[in-house]
Amino acid sequence: MNQQHPIVLFMILALLATATFSNGQAQQRSEEQLAQILRRFPAADTDKDGKLTSEEFQQFRQSMQGNARPAAATRPQAVSDRVTLEEDIVYLVAGDYEVALDIAVPKGLTKPVPAVVHIHGGGFWGGSKSAQHAVRYAEAGFVGVSINYRLSGVAPFPAAVHDCKAAIRWLRANAEKYQIDAEHIGVWGTSTGGHLAAILGTSGGDPYLEGYGGLPTHTSLREYRQKEELFEFSSEVQAVVDHFGPTDFLKLGGNHSMPTSAESRFLGGQITGLEEQVRRANPITYVDKDDPPILIIHGREDIGVIFNQSELLYAALKNAGAVTKLVPVANAGHGYRPSPQGAEIKPSKEEIDAMELAWFREHLK
């Protein structure tokens, strides 16, 4: 989430945009250049798997050139015969902007099962849903979902939170069709996706953050408030996994308070001059004893979102009496990249994935 010098960025973008290679060296040199960009711009790795793909690079370049709409998600290389996948389902129309999700359902279900929703990262200005994550959870026996939301270049906070809550309501409204156990929905995300997952967990029922997604077409927000209608379906979630998400913007330090930071762009102005909006955007603001179980996992060497951000949320949840657990990851930077390079992260990425899955299995009963 740290901001980088724009001249350096566009020199690298220009290099990749114009470079040509011999057939024998094209793949190797392309991978080397992608690795170079990843080291300088970790936010380009939108799925936080430690590798930069050509699709992620294209998406990153478009974002930096002002294209704030999410790029089309990459389809999984193979979808199991045990799973039915539907992609690009529009769950919300905000003005003329369509917001979509992917959903994967295990085949042969004899009863409804819990849903697990993935919320992508990308500094609030980039990234996209991932059908791969939806399929991964469907293969584990859940209804797997991955959602887009309006990015900061489209609409500032609280639009992204409104969209995420609308997605949860949409899942409940369509629970019968997709065989979802509507009483048990979990969310997880990485980086800014972790922030959004956490705020969905802590802010259930907050009027400011509920938004108006799910209203009949052409119903304005003003008309909705005048009618004082209640949503038919709840946006509350029953379990959360937050991977290294920011929780208290004004305590991030470094360049995060600059007017060009990801957080400032998310709020539509420099965060140091928007203290009330910052308070509303911080997941930590809404913590109470009734919050769902929240697992927090964070690299100790993270300089994109410092480890203390997770310590703050964990302490607030513990003090409130909520169910929570904090897992520090040794030798890990942002996205669990080894820090220093080549170091062994502990727990491993495989163990982290297993912890995430186990958390949902335990708390979405």
The domain of 182 spans 73-363
Q: What is the pLDDT of residues 244-276, one digit of tens each?
A: 999 999 999 889 999 999 999 999 999 999 999
Average of pLDDT values for 279-299?
97
Residue 280 belongs to a domain? yes
Judge residue 182's burial from the number of C-beta atoms within 10 Å of its C-beta, 0-12 exposed, 13-18 middle, 19 or more buried: middle
Residue 30 belongs to a domain? no
Residue 253 belongs to a domain? yes
Q: Which residues pair with 236 in a beta bridge?
A: none
Q: Evaluate whether 271 touches 256 at the Cβ level (below 8 Å).
A: yes
pLDDT above 70 coverage of the chain, percent: 75
Average of pLDDT values for 177-183?
97
* pLDDT score for 220: 43
Beta carbons within 8 Å of 157's beta carbon, 6+ residues apart: 266, 267, 268, 277, 280, 281
Q: Residue with structure tokens 């052409």?
A: 218
pLDDT reading at 224 higher than 80: no
Separation between Cα atoms, residue 30 and residue 165, nearest integer Å: 39
Residue 41 belongs to a domain? no
pLDDT reading at 55 higher than 90: no
* pLDDT score for 135: 97
Q: What's the number of domains the chain is made of?
A: 1
Q: What is the CATH number of the domain that holds 213?
A: 3.40.50.1820
Q: What is the pLDDT of residues 299-309, one digit of tens each?
A: 999 999 999 99
pLDDT reading at 217 higher than 60: no
pLDDT reading at 181 higher than 60: yes
* pLDDT score for 37: 72
* pLDDT score for 251: 96
pLDDT reading at 168 higher than 80: yes
Average of pLDDT values for 93-100?
88
Residue 214 belongs to a domain? yes
Phi, psi of 34 (to 5 degrees): -60, -40
Q: What is the pLDDT of residues 136-152, one digit of tens each?
A: 999 999 999 999 999 99
Which one is predicted more confidently, 45 or 261?
261
* pLDDT score for 52: 73
Residue 242 belongs to a domain? yes
* pLDDT score for 213: 56
Residue 68 belongs to a domain? no
Residue 55 belongs to a domain? no
Other Cβ atoms closer than 10 A to 207? 7
Alpha-carbon dihedral 363, 293, 296, 173, rounded to 10 degrees: 70
* pLDDT score for 96: 82
pLDDT reading at 8 higher than 70: no
